[in-house]
Structures are given as C-alpha cells and as structure tokens.
Amino acid sequence: MSAHREFARQLTGVFGFPITPMKPDHSVDYDGLAKLVDWMTQYPFCAQVTVGGTGEIYSLTVEEAVEAVRVSVDATAKRMPVVAGVGYSAPLGVQMAKGMEKAGAAALLIMPPYYINAPADGLVRYYQEIAGSVGIPVSLYTRDWAAFSPEFAARLADGIPNLAFWKDGQGDTRKFQRLMNNVGDRLAWIGGIGDDCAGGYFGIGVQAYTSSISNVAPKLSLAIAEAGQKREMDKLAALLKKYVHPLYALRDKMRGYEVTVMKKMMELQGRPGGPSRAPLCEVKPEEMKEIQRLVELYQPWA
C-alpha cells in the first residue's frame, strides 16, 4: 500500500470543517481563523479541512486561500493534519495546490472544475494535472454536477497515483455504495454532504464524515461518528432527530445558509464568524429567533 493511501486510511471519525471568518469589510479574518482552528484542534477530529465549501473557497483569491492554509497549519501546531481545498480550473488548481503544499497542507481536497460540461477525458486531465503537481495525498469531492459512475471512479483511482480518498457530495447512498464496492480498498471513503446524512453513510461503511456542525458543537459531531461507527443506529437516529434535522431544516430555507447560519451561530457563541462574500446572502432577521434557539439547544455540546 502506498504511503498516500496509508495516510488516508488513518482518517477515521470526523473531519472538522472550519468556516473562514471575515471582518466587517469582508476581508479575511486570519486572526479569527487561527483562534477557531486552535479551538477545534482541541477535539479529536481526524483532520481539519481549510477553505472547503463551508470555508467559502469559491469567494477567495488564490493568495487568500493559501494564506488561510498557512494560518491553519500554524494554529494546529502539528496536532492535527490540515486538508486544503483547491479547484476552479486546472491552472488555478495547480497554483493553489503548490502553494498549499508549501504552506504545510497534509492533503488536498479537489473540487470539481468550474466548467460543468467537460468530457470524461478532460476531467481525468483536470484531476491528474492538479494531483500531479504535488507530492501529498489528494481526495476528490464529488459535489453538485460531478456525479461519477463506479467505472469512472476506478479509472481515476488507477490513473492518479496519489489519489488516496474520496469525499462524497451527492448523498445518494445507493450509488455511493456501488462505487465503493467497485473500487474497494484502493481508496478510503468519506461521507461529505452533511451531518444529516451520517446515518446512511455509516450504514454503508464509510470510515469518516465531514461535519460543519464541528464549528458550533464539536462534541456532537464526535458523538454522531461514534454512534455510527459502533452501529448504534437508534442512538444515532435520536441525535439526528433532536439536534441535526432542526438545523438542516433552517439551512434548507435559502441556498448558502449552510455557511451563513453557521457563522451566525458561532457569533452568538462568542466565536469568530463575520459576514460572507457574494454570492451568499446574510441571514434574514426573522430567522434569528430560531438560530438563538438552536444555539441554546447545542450548548451542552459546544
């Protein structure tokens, strides 16, 4: 087994998924990010993902994203690996990847390319160019339109030597399980569309999941993963029903709320959050009562 895949196999439980705090003028709050990452590193997550989707990668410049990774790596003080998000296009992805590797990222999470009508051969080239520009492990993130077949997943696993793990962003556990069965232990499998899908993910055998709730209730994220890994499905279902589904019902009210609601909850907890850049919209005033209720509900897990 390659060192890349051995590294990925050790990532079990929960990936923390810090937001990217911003100042009132919408500049990146690097001091706030350092404080957030340091706080999250006190909990036994298997890794943290800097500038992923929850971290607003799509609104950051290459330089900002690389600096966010450097700040995050410094804040962890080698207590926890940092996985860095990259994407957009092959040239920009390569630029980000090289900068993030130099900044100390332990692995990369490659987002789908911006161009959504790419042919299969072009997609392979996109992933190969970004992954081939670094010497660290990489993961694909199959979010939005990037829903790949089991056969295409096997092609990528065979054609990208440092492809070590796969983060699902579709939430279709039937298709994801077929993909896992086809590729097998060549890759490590991560559930990645949301805390509310943890039951399905652990039910089909993922080794970890990515949690945006880790920003506001890290103990809850860890409890969800523990119940899933132990196949304590009644306990897991109870946690999801009481704590997760009410939050996700609110987040479903507007696109982008998966970021802005989390930031508002963090601010009410006294942690750095701040506004979000366009194209995201801020939380509507009429949502604040429900957000306050959720903060109170989550207090024992914070």
By annotation, the residues acting in catalysis are: 141, 167
Contact present, 192 and 111 (Cβ < 8 Å): no
| CA 287 to mean position of chain CA atoms | 25
Q: Which CA distances in Å does 247 have to 4, 42, 100, 244, 290?
A: 35, 24, 32, 5, 9
Distance CA 201, CA 238 (A): 16
Q: How far is CA 271 from the centre of its chain?
A: 19
For 36, phi then psi, to 5°, come to -65, -45
Q: Which two tokens stand for residue 51?
A: 């500038």
What CA–CA distances, in Å, run from 152 to 92, 191, 290? Answer: 24, 19, 43
